[in-house]
Amino acid sequence: MTRPEQIATGLGELIGAEVRITGMASVGAQRATFFIDILDGTSTTPAVAQVSASVLGSVPTSAEAAMLRLAEQVGVPVPDVIAVSDDLPGVGAPALVVSRIDGRTVPRHILRGLPDEAAGESLARQCGEAFARLHTIGEAQAPASLPRLSHTAYVDDLEAKLDALDDVRPAVRAGLAWLRANPLPEAPITLVHADFRNGNMIVDDNGLAAVLDWELAQVTDPMQDLAWMCLRTWRFGNDTKPVGGFGSVAALRSGYEAAGGSWRDDAIHWWSVARCAWWAIGLAGQAAAFTSGLTDAIMLAASGRRVPELEYDLLRLIADGPTN
């Protein structure tokens, strides 16, 4: 594992100033996030550096920086890009340095910090507005390195990932069969964040302050984003509030449509099934990496314990949806 001193030196070379690591925000499966101070003469600039553990399963860091700039141009709240590298000097891993924005990022802290129900509804509307603005970025504007996925291609990819696991997972198989039996008409595709939910945003006393972690972005049906935000797994026990555990679907839709978005109920339900299956497969894959000896990360081992939750949600979604 790369030492913090090496990372600080590499970041300093990238930015052209002395860098001091002041703390570690998180160590995830794909990347580590550090709080840093950029020291330039007499001034100190607080920032955040994300250093990827792997380039597998994520978009190039340069493309992520390009998306942040595009999102800022259309009015999505995001951090400013300070520096980016697909090969951090002395480390050999992708890195992204952005401005530090004050606020809450831990999901339960976000939920506890909302003073009342009205604040939660306001936050849900702000999320809807941010989604609508993001979805004005069409295929032609999105970075060329991002995957372009039709509904059929998405299910094909899920099936290939499931086949690669040494695990039958009949509930997930049923989900994929339902997706194929209930096809959606293809719709105009846009830039999709694909992981905007409670836990990947900064919330302050005024509401949504920034949308974080763009490494899973793709170009596909924009309804995927809305479905992902509303999955039960991101409510953190507050199931009466479908949007991140803090707001209603009506508030999310109100913000989305007020900012020019076009809401499609059938597509949101389809994508709820698809993303639930995707997350179940992803968690099972993380657990398999641990049990096969590819990693000793205990957080990946723990992921396997959550797969039955997703299978339960998946079967409930299938039962509630249309049948052909």
- The third-level CATH classification (topology) of the domain covering 107-320 is Aminoglycoside 3'-phosphotransferase; Chain: A, domain 2 (3.90.1200)
CA–CA distance, 13 with 191 (Å, rounded to integer): 32
The residues, ordered by sequence, that sit 6+ positions from 189 with a Cβ below 8 Å of its Cβ are 138, 139, 148, 149, 150, 219, 220, 221, 222
Quote the DSSP letter at residue 184: P
Mean pLDDT of 103-114: 95
Mean pLDDT of 127-141: 97
Average pLDDT taken over every residue of the chain: 91
Q: Are 34 and 21 in contact (CB under 8 A)?
A: yes
Domain 4-99: state its class: alpha beta
CA–CA distance, 117 with 128 (Å, rounded to integer): 17
Give domain limits for the chain.
4-99, 107-320
Residue 277 burial (10 A CB sphere; 0-12, 13-18, 19+):
buried
pTM for the model: 0.92
- The alpha carbon of residue 180 and the mean position of all alpha carbons in its chain are separated, in whole angstroms, by 25
Is residue 302 scored above 60 in pLDDT? yes
Is residue 2 scored above 60 in pLDDT? yes
How confident is the model over 203-244, as pLDDT tens digits? 999 999 999 999 899 999 999 999 999 999 999 999 999 999
Is residue 300 scored above 90 in pLDDT? no
How confident is the model over 286-295, as pLDDT tens digits? 887 777 777 7
Confidence of residue 101 (pLDDT cuts 50, 70, 90): very high
Same CATH topology for 4-99 and 107-320: the answer is no
Q: Tell which residue, 12, 6, 67, has the closest CA to residue 38.
A: 12
DSSP 68-113: HHHHHHTT---PPEEEEESS-TTT-S-EEEEE---SB-SHHHHHHH
